Each structure stands twice: as C-alpha cells, then as structure tokens.
Amino acid sequence: MAQLATSIEREAFLRVLLMGYSKTGKTTSTVVSLANAVGNGYVICCGDKSSLTPAARRTKKFSFDVVRDENDMEAGIKELRRGAKEGEYKWGFVDDFSLYASWLEGALRDQSAATNKSGEADGRRYWPEFKQRLLNIPRRLFDIKVHVVFASHYLESGPEIDGQRAKTGRGIMPMIGGSAREELPALFPDVLFMEKEKDGRRVFQVNPEGVWGPGARSADGSHTIDADFGAFLKLANDTVSQEKGVKAASKR
C-alpha cells in the first residue's frame, strides 16, 4: 500500500552516526541526553558493559544487552522492535559499532579460510558478505519507530598504500573494513563528530555537507553544539521549521 509523503515528516526520528576518539564520553553523553530528552531507551552494547557505568550513575532510563556475535545482534534488534511497539523504548543506541564490525570481519575471514582448500581466506567472497551483513543492521533498525544512534570509535590510520581504498577522509568511517567504510555513513542522514574541549566541555561537530573529523571545524558550514541529543533534536526541529517558513513564503 502506498504511503503518504506527509507520514515521513510525522514519523521523523533521529538516525545518527556518532564518531569520536576513545574516552571522549560518547556513551555517557548519548545515553544520558537521550534519556533526559525523550525517555526510556535500549542499548545494544557491543563492548564491555562497564562502559555504561557512568551513564547508569546519572540515569536509570535505559535497558541494555551485551552483543558478542550475530545471534546476540539479532536478539538485540528483536528486543528494540518489541520495546518500541509496546511503547517501552523511545530510542535505541548501538555502541560501539566498530567493535561489532571488527568481530564480524574476523568471523567471516575465519569462516572463509576454513572452507577454502588452500586454508587461506578469500577476500573476493567474504568482503561482499561482510558489507551486506553490516549495512543490513542500520537499515533494519531504521524501520523501527524510535530514535536510533550508532556510535563508533574514530582512529586515524597510518600511511595509506597506493591502490587501496582510503581509510580516512570525507565520507569515510574509519575502523570499518572494505567498501563498507564508505557506504555505511551514507545510510545516515546525520553524522556527528564528538570532541572534548580544553575546558572539559563536550561538543558535537555539526556539518550539513558530510564533513567530519578533527579537521572539520574549518570546513564551510561547520559549527559546534553541546554534546546533548536534546540540543541536537531542537536544532533539527528548528531547521525543519525554518524550511517550512521558506516554503510558505515562496508560495505567497
């Protein structure tokens, strides 16, 4: 059945990729600010659950499960879908997706080596499978009617080798293997980069042109806001209101 275009605006939810260096407070800032802004949520924890301890000291408005393999991830997706349908969860947070990607890459590489007569992994087979499985996760979560945030570590790599895909740069998600590092960020309407200022304040770098990373502050259109998803939601809503105003004025 065809859906009305107006339903897109009415059911608009955040779909955010949040990147930043390790220990900048991505987990705590995300969980606490989402809980304060919209209510209870659910964390798909791909790392150690101890990373949630600082957030748990500040809010109890979240549940979580620890993910170690694809079965765990499937269970997490199912739980978020259930909780959203029953009105229990208003947001979902996948943290840290780069850790899950690393596990999946290793599992598929080992599987390829085990099934290859030479005993060596065949990248021509497992890289496409890796990308398909990895990109399928945000696509499925985006179908759930809650705010969805994926967090990932940002780590600059060493010198790049001629002929290989770039590992950092515009539109690239570091620490993700193969072409998925370019295609994964493209799934997200918003990509934020989190930093800790010299005075201890944590901020989101916002850039509407898809530029992120430590050097993005000098890019056209870049600005910072407090590392608070309540503030980002307000910014997004204000932008929509301004666009409506421009459209209305153009019709007069």
pLDDT tens digits for range 92-146:
999 999 999 999 999 999 988 888 878 888 788 889 999 999 999 999 999 999 9
Q: Please give the residue that has the higher pLDDT: either 156 or 100.
A: 100
The CA distance from 227 to 216, in Å, is 16
Q: Percent of the chain scored above 70 by pLDDT?
A: 77
The CA distance from 62 to 32, in Å, is 9
**What are the pLDDT digits (tens) for 19-32?**
998 888 999 999 99
Decide if 20 contacts 194 (C-beta within 8 A).
Answer: yes
CATH fold of the domain at 13-250: Rossmann fold (3.40.50)
pLDDT of residue 166: 52
Q: Percent of the chain scored above 90 by pLDDT?
A: 53
Tokens read off for 148: 């969805």
Residue 143: exposure state from Cβ atoms within 10 A (0-12, 13-18, ≥19): exposed
Look-up: residue for tokens 């590392």? Answer: 227
Measured at the CA of 135, the angle between CA 130 and CA 138, to 5 degrees, comes to 140
Q: Please give the residue that has the higher pLDDT: either 251 or 229.
A: 229
pLDDT of residue 197: 86
Decide if 113 contacts 121 (C-beta within 8 A).
Answer: yes
pLDDT of residue 244: 44
Which residue ranges make up each domain of the chain?
13-250
Decide if 66 contacts 123 (C-beta within 8 A).
Answer: no
**What are the pLDDT digits (tens) for 181-195?**
888 988 998 889 998
Torsions phi, psi for 209 (to 5 deg): -100, 10
